[in-house]
Amino acid sequence: MYNCIKLSWPKLSDSAHERILNGFVSHHNSVTQVRKVGNEYKHVPAGENFMKSTGYYHLMHWDDQIEFNKKILEPHNINYDNLKHLTIQQSINELRPHVDIARKLTVIYVVDGSADTVFYATDNNASIGVYSKSALTEIQRFNLELHTWYAFNNSVIHSVDNCQKNARTSLTLNVSGIGLFKDYIDMVNNIENSNILFK
């Protein structure tokens, strides 16, 4: 099974795309960056690194998050209960192979920036952290279409390659945080009719 599956959810408006890009910048004080702290990878305040250094940045929680998300999803009929799980992430340049922190299932919607998402297999059990490509076998490669929703398996080692712009900015719905599906297969089989975001 593919680790990234296109969904039939609706495309957002051009004004929503602009609002997402501007919102990520205007809420920079709430943006975190994944960095290695001791022996662990953690979300820490991005601070002066914001949009400057290669890496992964995430706007997970901010003051007007619910109202912001209502606005970008207009005029669609949406499930307001899960808007707190809808966040904005940005990859600056290429990201090394990794397994995500604290989420195994997401839905991703690329707003701006083209890049390949690559999935890998390893002889060892995958765990949270960063990997060397030389120890991995590439198994799938996707160039996610702009303004399209995808079910995404974050529990498999993956990287971001071949960035065509400095940054790739995306909306992400943390499906793991909602707890509706038991695993990726369950999500893929049932998410289209789940009303998890769109009714």
Which among 14, 13, 53, 15 has a CA at the least distance from the CA of 31?
A: 53
When divided into structural domains, the chain yields a total of 1
The pLDDT tens digits for 10-29 are 999 999 999 999 999 999 99
- Quickly list H helices, the chain: 14-26, 65-73, 175-178, 184-190
78 and 199 Cβ atoms separated by less than 8 Å:
yes
* Domain ranges, residue 131: 4-193
* Phi and psi at residue 101, to the nearest 5°: -85, 130
In this structure, what CATH number is given to the domain that contains residue 47? Answer: 2.60.120.10
Distance, in Å, from the CA atom of 32 to the CA atom of 54, rounded to the nearest integer, reads 13
pLDDT for the residue numbered 126: 67
167 and 91 Cβ atoms separated by less than 8 Å:
yes
pLDDT for the residue numbered 128: 67
Within-domain flag for 198: no
Does the CA dihedral 148-149-155-156 come out positive or negative? negative
Task: Give SS3 for 56.
Answer: strand
Lowest mean pLDDT among 1-10, 112-121, 129-138, 189-198: 129-138
pTM for the complete prediction? 0.93
Structure tokens at 155: 């529990």
The pLDDT tens digits for 124-159 are 776 767 888 988 999 999 999 999 999 999 999 999
Which among 173, 167, 158, 29 has a CA at the least distance from the CA of 99?
A: 158
The pLDDT tens digits for 154-178 are 999 999 998 888 889 999 999 999 9
Average pLDDT score over the chain: 92
Does 51 or 33 have the greater pLDDT score?
33
Within-domain flag for 199: no
Within-domain flag for 168: yes
